[in-house]
Amino acid sequence: MADDRGGPAGALLDRRGRPLHDIRFSVTDRCNFRCVYCMPKDIFGRDYAFMPSAELLTFEEITRLARIAAAHGVEKIRLTGGEPLLRKGLPELVRMLSALRTPDDRQLDIALTTNGSALAHVAGALKEAGLRRVTVSLDSLDDATFQEMNDVRFPVEKVLHGIDVAHELGLGPIKINMVVKKGRNDQDIVAMARHFRGTPYILRFIEFMDVGSTNGWQLGEVVPSAEVIRRIDEVFPLEEVEPNYRGETSTRWRYRDGQGEIGVISSVTQSFCHSCSRARISVDGMLYTCLFATGGHDLRGMMREGCSDDELSKRLAVIWRSRSDRYSELRSLHMTPDTSGKRVEMSYIGG
């Protein structure tokens, strides 16, 4: 059975034929790091006003939205932030989401992106609650560079310990994300590859992106993914492999000697807008159809005004079917960011 857009029953396709497959929920706008490419300290300082708890989506509201999205074909839920492990009681939310099912009675794929600072302490509770996978942001193995980038003097050893604890508990495969910024940490590309080569972890290199309006993005600070691959291939020969699924953001490469794989996420130099199947819901319930959006759609207001599940479902369908976003494609044409509107910050919308 197909819907009126040609997809499977319940599935939503946008104006470019892209299905809604993944939703990322930001569960807090707070973070204990002040990474230079996300929450620079000169903007997010001591006096910065974060959202009061009453404005945040409740666990019940998040679960309701996820259940309705699953009926429309969503199979993956990722919890982001801010730093999601700062949200009190997070394992309970994971438990609630893990109880949801797809229309064909499969469990949703529940994942988490974290800076890893508290992972060692809560990995067990998250695994028991039903969390399947973890992605950890780690921008350098050199402690001085890592502390400079997180800008709160947090040591890299604690993050590495959290990664190992999560792996031992069966959360995996664990992915490690390194945002590469020229002149900051690009000297550590090969060292990162060397460290994680031959381990159970999948290392991914992300081009420095112009998300939000506060990170001072400059094209000259972008290290193209092709350059990342070239540097690693010179030391550890690589070969490209097929994506795991349609719409995967990371291009996969494996070591020719069988010692694992890496990935590169090339939003700046090789846009993947054509296959993007992700929506993002902010900490206060705004639905965004693009990471680089300048505006969203208020779902929290609808819920708190007493809308029915059917009304919420129809609203989600209308929003997605109207979607035509392709910011990265347009930016790639000119290699300059669009400054016509203030884009939402990554710490608010999630990565």
Digit-coded pLDDT (tens) for 92-112 = 999 999 999 999 999 999 999
Phi first, then psi: give them for residue 77, nearest 5 degrees.
Answer: -120, 125
Q: How confident is the model at residue 2 (pLDDT cuts 50, 70, 90)?
A: very low
Assigned token pair, 73? 């074909």
Spatial CA neighbour of 32 closest among 114, 113, 92: 114
| Four-residue CA torsion sign, 96, 284, 175, 335 | positive
The pLDDT, as a whole number, for residue 248 is: 74
Tens of pLDDT along 314-334? 999 999 999 998 867 776 666
- Distance between CA atoms of 319 and 314, rounded to whole angstroms? 9
* 169-to-47, 89, 347 alpha-carbon distances in Å: 38, 19, 28
Between 9 and 351, whose confidence is greater? 351
* Angle CA 228–139–249, to nearest 5: 60
The percentage of the chain sitting over the pLDDT mark of 90, rounded to a whole number, equals 73
CA–CA distance, 244 with 50 (Å, rounded to integer): 37
Query: What is the rounded distance in angstroms from the CA atom of residue 70 to the CA atom of residue 109?
Result: 11
Distance CA 181, CA 167 (A): 28
Q: What domains are there in the chain, each with its CATH number?
A: 22-349 (3.20.20.70)
**CB contact at 8 A, 223 and 182:** yes
Give, for 326, the enclosing helix (H) or strand (E): none
Q: Identify the residue whose tokens are 């973890």.
A: 134
CB atoms within 10 A of CB 193: 23
In sequence order, what E strands does the chain have?
Answer: 22-26, 76-80, 109-114, 133-137, 175-180, 202-207, 238-240, 251-255, 261-265, 278-281, 286-288, 297-298
Task: Retrieve residue 146's tokens.
Answer: 């890592």
Q: Which of 1-15, 64-78, 156-170 has the lowest mean pLDDT?
A: 1-15
Name the 3-class secondary structure at 65.
Answer: helix
pLDDT digits (tens, 9 = 90+) for 263-300: 999 888 887 788 899 999 999 999 999 888 888 999 99
Residue 335, SS3 per DSSP: coil
Task: Tell me the pTM.
Answer: 0.91
| CA distance linking residue 115 with residue 214, whole number of Å | 20
pLDDT at 7: 42
For residues 51 and 29, the answer to whether their CB atoms sit within 8 Å is yes
Between 325 and 228, the more confident residue is 228
Report which of 318, 216, 222 is spatially closest to residue 264, judged by C-alpha positions.
222
Q: What is the C-alpha to C-alpha distance for residues 72 and 9, in angstroms, rounded to an integer? A: 8
Cα 246–174–268 angle (5° rounding)? 50
